[in-house]
Amino acid sequence: MAERNAHFTGQKSLFCLFLVTAILFMLSWFFVWRSTGRPHFIDHSLLPNSKIFATIDNDNPEPRIQSDIGPSIGNAEDEVEAPPKKNLAECNPNKVFLKVFMYDLPPEFHFELLGWKAEGESVWPDIRKKVPDYPSGLNLQHSIEYWLTLDLLYSEFADSLSGHSAIRVHNASEADVVFVPFFSSISYNRYSRVKPHEKGSKNKLLQENLVKFLTTQEEWKRSGGRDHIIVAHHPNSLLDARMKLWPAMFILADFGRYPPNIANVDKDIIAPYKHVIKNFVNDLSDFDSRPTLLYFKGAIYRKDGGFVRQELFYLLKDEKNVHFSFGSAQRDGINKAAQGMHSSKFCLNIAGDTPSSNRLFDAIASHCVPVIISDDVELPYEDVLDYSEFCIFVRTSDALKGKFLINLIKSIGRDEWNRMWKRLKEVENFFEFQYPSKEGDAVQMIWQTVARKVPAIRMKVHKSKRFSHWNGSRERGPRSLPLPRNFW
């Protein structure tokens, strides 16, 4: 009996060995197939729109890369076996790039607003020599369009695009989206005063000209603007043009000053503010070394929704270890706020005259667990990021109930706070704007958010073509589009 069993087990292990070998063989065959032949198996050419997510090995993004695998390299067999000399996606063969067509808008719409002067033919600065500076201070909060534009320019000469999500293409038919490089926030911040001898402000004039320019472009007419990206991060930027350019995807700070049919969370994208408080590098603090329990510094009396701040001030002002004060954003104000946030466990974010504020991103950079009291706030990349892992959300109606807020905050213990603090340190990179942009920072996260919306854009564009196909004479520019009612 025992012998027969042994024999049986022997057979079984032989069979297992065979199975493992077979699986290994199949796996290796699969990897070889993936690294060499796959694009030939999956024929993207039948589905033009699948170019959105065509892989880079299938679709060389730039002609100069193709020319590197020039015809002079040996015979055909060598070519198959030798890896391309300059494969941008070497580290990640499945890397997908968002292809962005960017208008060569005259410099008055972008870098000249920062004080840069165009030389020669190009409308763009040669950022390999010098990157024009963005005005400092609070202007920087809304500098989103500047970082996105720089990233597209950079994609044209970068040695490696590893960690990058978008590339600039010059043929609009090959692009997934069309980027409009109008620096709308700095245009509002710096040029919205009307000078004595002028009819309107430069900010107004630029917006008029932008509408004129866009609505006459082939790219705009083709999609009715639906595949265009326009950045209007300052809540008051693009005030005049937004009502005409609404079919486009806006990149905004929040929807507070937009009618829901002009901008909404389905069509548009929320980008973080660039925080003004410096990053807390080498943060060795812990629950006990941050003496202040709850911190808030800001304008206390605000118009519109800001009455909550005033109410909370009276509820919290006598609580122990709570810092709640007036503060302005002057230079010293920023330093004081940095000290305050670095030495607090929790930082309050209360709706001001808009649902969003830079304070949230300052708190994240300070690793001070944000307590968000803003019922209408929309947050960046929330489709992939769970803010409840590192933020506390409190409904306004609850926050205004007697001791509700302070009791809630006090009930959060060391372990839970530690977990959120650790998570803050993991996610803070998602909110960093920098040049050159790096993997997983705000610039890349924004492009990835755009990429996730591309299929929905395609669908809208296709639907809009249903009846126009056999009726070629009809203009499909935005002027002929009625204002939306139940839009999206």
Binding site for ligand NAG (CB under 6 A): 171, 173-174, 471, 473-474
Residue with Cβ nearer ligand NAG (5 or 45)? 45
Residue with Cβ nearer ligand NAG (474 or 485)? 474
Residues paired with 347 in a beta bridge: 295, 370
Beta carbons of 457 and 177 less than 8 angstroms apart: yes
Shortest Å, Cβ 96 to ligand NAG:
18
Compute the distance between CA of residue 157 and CA of residue 108 in angstroms, rounded to an integer.
24
Compute the distance between CA of residue 95 and CA of residue 88 in angstroms, rounded to an integer.
9
Shortest Å, Cβ 262 to ligand NAG:
25
Residue with Cβ nearer ligand NAG (64 or 419)? 64
Shortest Å, Cβ 418 to ligand NAG:
53
Cβ within 8 Å of residue 199, ≥6 positions away: none
Residue with Cβ nearer ligand NAG (130 or 474)? 474
Shortest Å, Cβ 210 to ligand NAG:
25
- DSSP letters, 21-58, are HHHHHHHHHHHHHHHHTHHHHS-GGG-GGGGGG-BTTT
Shortest Å, Cβ 59 to ligand NAG:
11
Compute the distance between CA of residue 248 and CA of residue 268 in angstroms, rounded to an integer.
8
Residue with Cβ nearer ligand NAG (289 or 471)? 471
3-state secondary structure of 332: helix
Shortest Å, Cβ 469 to ligand NAG:
11
Shortest Å, Cβ 182 to ligand NAG:
24
The count of other CB atoms within 10 Å of the CB of residue 477 is 16
Residue with Cβ nearer ligand NAG (335 or 468)? 468
Q: Which residue has the tokens 């402000």?
A: 201
Beta carbons of 311 and 339 less than 8 angstroms apart: no
- CA angle at residue 430 from 440 to 299, to 5 degrees? 160
Residue with Cβ nearer ligand NAG (169 or 308)? 169
Q: In what order do the strands lie in the sheet with 392-393?
A: 322-326, 292-298, 344-350, 369-373, 392-393
3-state secondary structure of 388: helix
Residue with Cβ nearer ligand NAG (54 or 399)? 54
Shortest Å, Cβ 451 to ligand NAG:
19
Compute the distance between CA of residue 32 and CA of residue 93 in angstroms, rounded to an integer.
12
